[in-house]
Chain A
Amino acid sequence: MKKLDKDRLILGFAGPALALVVAFVLSTLVLLVSNRDPFELYRLLFEQASYSDVQVLIINQAGTYYLAALAVAVGFRMNLFNIGVDGQYRLAAMMAALVGASVDLPGPLEIALIVIVAMLVGAFWAGIAGILKTTRGVSEVVATIMLNSIATSLIAWLILPKNFGDQAAGSNNLTTGEIHESGWFPGLSLGPESGEIYGFTFVAAACGLVYWFVLNRTRFGFDLRATGASESAAQASGVDAKKMVLTSMLVSGAVAGLAGMPTLLGDTHTYSLDFPVGIGFTGITIALLGRNHPVGIALSALLIAFLDKASSPLDQFGFEKEIATIMQGLIVISVVISYELVRRYGTRRQQQKVGEELAAGHALTTEKEAAL
């Protein structure tokens, strides 16, 4: 039994390792073909990452990605594909910013209010897809894609100055107005040059702990994983699969709602047209790369954040910073393919092993003997 676990552990690491090597080789090829020195580029990336201000940027970005990826992962564990994290966190951040700007409560209460509003809005938006799935059998993939676009339009309308938005004089950026200062989440300052780590990044890390605990140590988590593994089997053992679909969609949406919070509470303090977009899709990449495991997701969030932030000044050195996006795409592709290959290899190996043991007539007898 112990032997098998070791095998599984090795296989578990083989997947990501193989993926990263393949992605690295492919990126190098792309760079060579486009006549750019790949090793100079890698050196630059690491040099960037050695600056403490860039490190702070990477950590802050990783916190945001981590939350988005957790939201996706909750769905994945349940065999639900929440593509709508992108719409959910944007709508949630916007609504939370509106509430934060119009309600003035003392310190922690204000923050709690904003966060709760964000979670509720995210859960609501995801819940629409959940209800459509449970009552009408609409695929959550299609529903959440549609809801993403609807969220974009809804935000564009709500943020108009004639509705709830605000337009600073002489600027064509629309905002929701600034959150009262009691709602600003204090950060951890690392000196004037390095900048500060958003306080909410630590909340994100805590969310990872909660995610691990709920999924692996509670009845709900067990039901969720069971339903994800086999809906019919779970149903047979008394799990209400429909309720699980709706609940996990709501949870996923609530976590997605948090994804906008590090930026909103720690940096911008307002939702404007240039609020970061597309984090939900990056979250999918990260959840896949991290295999839905809280530690794996954390490492992948750091990796993707590193690519994002370390690549942004590349233009000054004669490199095209878009290479980072290509690298991310290549990473996703090599990750999913290598996981699949490793899985197939693992299954084949297991089958071979069982076959050998059966042929030797060994396994069965020893087990019988042990039982006796």
Chain B
Amino acid sequence: MSTTKVSAARLAPSKGGRRKLSLPVVLLLLAGALALVSLVRLISGANDVTSVGQVAGALELAVPIGLAGLGGLWAERAGVVNIGLEGMMILGTWFGAWAGFQWGPWVGVLFGIIGGALGGLLHAVMTVTFGVNHIVSGVAINILAAGVTRYLSNFTFADEPGGSSKQSPRVDEIDKITIPGLSDWLQDLQQHHWFFVSDLAGIIGGLVTGLSLLTVVALLLIPLTWWLLWRTAFGLRLRSCGESPVAAETLGVNVYKYKYIAVVISGGLAGLGGAFLSIVATSIYQEGQTGGRGYIGLAAMIFGNWMPGGMALGAGLFGFTDSLKLRGGAENVHAMLLLLGILVAFAAVWQLYRKKYVSAAIAAVCSGVLFTWYALTDQVPSQFVDAAPYVTTLLVLALSAQRLRMPKADGLPYRKGEGK
């Protein structure tokens, strides 16, 4: 009896060994990061890095990634790996545009969600009811979704004015909100290029200028997800299916039901991400429009350690790199090399402080390489920028795989009544 007590007491602190970040600490970290960006901007002269347009563009690019990531989060929290996000997004783009050009953008959004949710339902049937390998099922959905949308385009868009078998007619825009006085004032402030103040103004300005209502909805979904999954009984049960379905079953949770709900919602969110792409971002459906964003969403979720906040940060980062590239970015991305170099140098010092000499040395060399790269070149090839999210994810996984904790029963088969 006493031994179990001791071991339990010993286990407890090692599990929660990482200190929790409190709000002031987070704010301080954010301010520090912003100051650093500002410094880099002053040194490199890449003033566009934190301009209003840049931030607004980054937000628009981050939303589909974030929605896909949120979809991944829902499914994986219930223990179902969802590689089919890409396919569900494709369904979202198609259904969104198809309903959108006929009955207005909001109906399109609704249909996009339904289209994605149908993909999710198929995934749920295959993985939960039939116990098919989750990844196999996801791959199948990606193939099927691409085929179905291409096939359907022949029957729907091909005969419409302005459409073809590869793209839809235009969809009307969703209202965009700009806060009149504030937005202009912030833009003004940003154009002075002062240290820190202008950057802050640029970021806030980007968040209040030309903001699509759907973006607002998408942003609200992140805290909503957190609240639903971590603060309600429903969420606790859902997450228990991802951690230990057998234990959940013994407590009377209908694991199949929760997995179904989670995967369908997951598909719906991915579909919403797709609908955002075709309705808000481009106003048109195009074949191959998603361009692997479902996978990037998955990457963002892993980057964020299967948590909504971290996922949002990841999606924001990936969206920002995309936007840097799009806005005549060779120069901007080049400035990011300097930022990255400084960050890695910090990491080196930190590892040195913790007496981890090997990792410190590696970090120092990396930082040196980055500084040299910055000094010797004028721009970064855009292909490297494309690869940035993926490389980042691989690095995060490689460096902190021990710290990341995915749901314990994620991707494992589960059948009712077969628990041991």
Interface residues of A, Cβ cutoff 8 Å to B? 30, 34, 81, 83, 132, 136-138, 141-143, 145-147, 149-150, 152-154, 156-157, 160, 281, 284-285, 288, 320, 322-330, 332-333, 336-337, 340-341
Contact = CB atoms under 8 A, between A and B. Distances in A.
B2 interface: no
Nearest 3 interchain pairs by C-beta: A329-B144, A325-B147, A153-B387
Nearest to B143: A329
A131 to B, nearest CB: 9
B4 interface: no
Contacts of A329: 140-141, 143-145, 147-148
A142 B72 CA distance: 13
Interface of B: 81, 83, 122, 126, 130-133, 135-137, 139-148, 150-151, 154-155, 292, 295, 298-299, 302, 381, 383-384, 386-387, 390-391, 393-394, 397-398, 401-402
Nearest to B137: A336
A152 B390 CA distance: 11
**Chain B interface secondary structure, helix, strand, loop or mixed?**
helix
A142 B298 contact: yes
Contacts of A149: 292, 295, 386-387, 390
Nearest to B392: A146
Most chain B CB within a 10 A radius of its CB, from A132, A137, A152, A332: A332
A88 to B, nearest CB: 15
B69 to A, nearest CB: 13
Nearest to B133: A336
24 contacts: A83-B139, A132-B398, A136-B401, A145-B295, A145-B298, A149-B386, A150-B394, A152-B386, A153-B383, A157-B384, A160-B381, A160-B383, A281-B139, A285-B140, A320-B151, A322-B150, A326-B151, A329-B143, A333-B140, A336-B126, A336-B137, A337-B132, A340-B131, A341-B130
Contact of B393 (A146, A153, A154, A160): A146
Given A34-B155, A157-B381, A337-B130, A132 B140 contact: no
Contact of A330 (B126, B144, B292, B391): B144
B147 A328 contact: yes
A323 B149 CA distance: 10
B132 A320 contact: no
A145 B151 CA distance: 26
A330 B146 CA distance: 12
A202 B402 CA distance: 46
B151 A284 contact: no
Contacts of B83: 83, 141, 145
B290 to A, nearest CB: 13
A326 B383 contact: no
B397 A138 contact: yes
B383 A154 contact: yes
Given A145-B298, A153-B384, A157-B383, A284 B139 contact: yes
Nearest to B399: A136
Contacts of B148: 326, 329
Contacts of B141: 329
Given A146-B295, A336-B132, A337-B126, 5 more contacts: A143-B397, A145-B298, A149-B386, A150-B387, A326-B144
